[in-house]
Structure formats: structure tokens, C-alpha cells
Structure 1
Amino acid sequence: MEQIVSEGLINSVMAKEAFVTESRKKLIDLACLMVVTLRQGGKILIFGNGGSAADAQHMAAEFVNRFLINRRPLAAVALSTDTSIITSIGNDFSFDEIFSKQVQALGKPEDLALGISTSGSSMNVIKGIEVAKEIGMRTAVLTGGIAGDGGELGRISDIFLNVPTAKTQHIQEVHLWVEHLLCEIVEREIFGEE
């Protein structure tokens, strides 16, 4: 048990360090894109499956409510939360369409689509990003994997942030850390040090 704890900590820290080495500039680019999107009256549509769905909800909540600063709400929507929409699309069409149809319904050219996929190959996230691009939205993805290319999502998005490890739990740990960094940077840029 002691060894599992020690190795888990070391591997988690190593994943964060590797991510920062590879993607520090992309992280700042995404934060700037979020700031511009929100300042210009756009919204952020966030989506993913499983743990990534939970991340989407978590991040949307931080923007709409607050992160570190008591301030006005920022426009963000998690597309993984409406079970009636998700199950009707999944039943009538395909689970692959659950995000793309919501992006079609809610997305505008001034908005940002943020897809989250630990593999970079989740078909419903890919389709959501593809539809966002068709609408003229800017697109970004959080992915993982040792190839470092972000999978299919890395190839089709404007900005991709990849966690270079094969271990899903460490990809998810880094994603949450990155999501918190993005929230903090956006708050500070828009509202200052309140």
C-alpha cells in the first residue's frame, strides 16, 4: 500500500511536469481564447464522457458560479447534464450524436467548444468538435496519450492540450488541474484581483 501511494504521487507529478513542458504555451493560448470569447459575449460549450463529463460539469459550474473571486457569472454550459436530451438523441439517432446536436442547437460563431477526451478518439466528442467548426466556432480539446498528437481530436481542433501519459487516472488528474488553472487565469484576466 505504501508503494502504491508513493508511485501514484510520483506518476501524477511526472504527468503534470510533462504536460507543462509540452503544453505551457497552448494552455496560455486557450486561456486567452476563453477570455476573448467571454469578453465578446460568447459562451463556452464543454463536453466529454464519464470522468470527462464530470469535468465538463465541474468547469461549467466554476465559470457560472465562481472559482476564486465573487463576480458576475460567466457563460459556460456542460453538454453532459441533460439526461432527457442525451437519452432522446441516443435512442432516436446515436450516442455518437449527443454532443453534435446540442452544439448545433446552442452554438454560435462567437462561442468556444471545449471537448474533453482522455483518449482523443471519443466519437461523440469528435462529432461535437466537427459541428462546432462547421458553425464557425473556435475549438479546443483536452486529451491524453503518449503519442502526444491528441488523437483525432488533436488533428481537427484549433488548440489541443495533450497529457503525455498512457495512464487514464493521471490524464484525468492533469485535466482537472488544467481546468482549474484555466478558471483562475480567466477570472483574473477579466475581473482582476478581487
Structure 2
Amino acid sequence: MTRFRTDRESAGRALVDDAGVVIEAAAAMAARFGSGSRLLAFGRDGGASDAAHVAVEFTHPVIVGKPALPALCLGGEPSLLPVLGRPEDIAVGIRPAGDDLAVARGLGMLTVALTVNAACPHADHVLAAASDDALVAREIHVTMYHLLWELVHVFLEADG
């Protein structure tokens, strides 16, 4: 239990240290949403259910009276990105594998990756959970995408 608590606290502190990265991603996403984009979320290695959660969150406005943001869940199928994606859209990959986001980036989509201790060469914004523990990493990812959701709405409200 002590190892888990230490890992969780360490990952949480790393997220606080990376707050600027989350804010930059949210600002870029808000700019895209402000231009009529949609969010397409997918996940690997258990991230498919988180992708569904991301899509649901973005379709619910944080600020009362504001419109929902268009979001689709691709489940565990990033292969749908070239079929459904448009250049102005946002691709969010949770634990993406290899070049999952390469096609989206090639289309001109904004790419955001929620990873575990890893770089993602095809992502414009990489939000990494600093933990090797799958449960801790998932908790950090849930926190990250809730921050993105709230910040995107706040940035859109400030611009509108």
C-alpha cells in the first residue's frame, strides 16, 4: 500500500509540474472548437472506455447555457480516423500505439496523446502520466481529460 501511495503522490506531483502542457493543449483544442472542429477520441490497452468518457464529457458543457461540443468516440479503432476525420478536427488518443495518430496528423488534425511515461512522435500535445502502475496512470489520465474538458470550455467562454 505504501508503494502505491508513493507512486500516486509522485504521479500527481508530476501532473502539477506539467500543468502548462495541459493548458497549452486545452488552448489549442479551444481554438479548433471555435472554428467548428469535432473531437474524435480513441484508446488502446483499456483506453477505449476512457475514449467514450472523453466524448461524453465534451458533449456536456461546463458552463450552464453554453452549447455542447461535438465529440465522437472511435473506441479502440484509430483506423476510423481517416474515414471520419477532417483537417480541422481534433484527435485524442489514450495510450495510442506507435503511429496511431500519424494519419490524423497527416490530415491536418490537431493531435493530443495521453500516454504513460512515453513520447508520442505524431502528437502535437503529449500528456504523459508519470507512473508504471496501470491504475495510477489511468487515474492521472482521467484527471487530465477532465482538466482539458473544463479548460476548453473556459477558453471558449473567454473568447466568446
Q: Which has the higher contact order (CA 8 A, sep 6+)?
A: 2
- CA displacement 1:104-150 (0-9 Å, x = unmatched): 11111111111110xx5x25xx33x11102211121101012xxxx2
* Aligned mate of 2:152, from 186, 191, 194: 186
| 8 Å contact from structure 2 (residues 38, 90) kept in 1 | yes
Q: TM-score, normalised by structure 2?
A: 0.88
Number of residues of Structure 1 aligned to a counterpart in Structure 2: 158
* Aligned mate of 2:134, from 157, 168, 176: 168
Greater fraction of residues in helix: 1
Q: Which amino acid aligns with 1:134?
A: G
* Unpaired runs of at least 5, structure 1: 81-85, 87-97
* Unpaired runs of at least 5, structure 2: none
Question: Structure 1 pair 164/136, CA: closer, same or farther in 2 (3 Å)?
Answer: same
Identity %: 29
Pairwise mapping of residues 1-194 of structure 1 onto structure 2 (< 5 A)? 4=1, 7-21=3-17, 23-67=18-62, 69-80=64-75, 98-100=77-79, 102-117=80-95, 122-123=97-98, 126-127=99-100, 129-145=101-117, 150-151=118-119, 154-191=120-157
Q: 1:42: how far off? A: 0.5
Q: Aligned equivalents of 1:40 and 1:169: distance in 2? A: 36
Bigger Rg, which one: 1
Q: TM-score, normalised by structure 1?
A: 0.73
Q: Aligned equivalents of 1:133 and 1:143: distance in 2? A: 17
Q: Which amino acid aligns with 1:99?
A: P
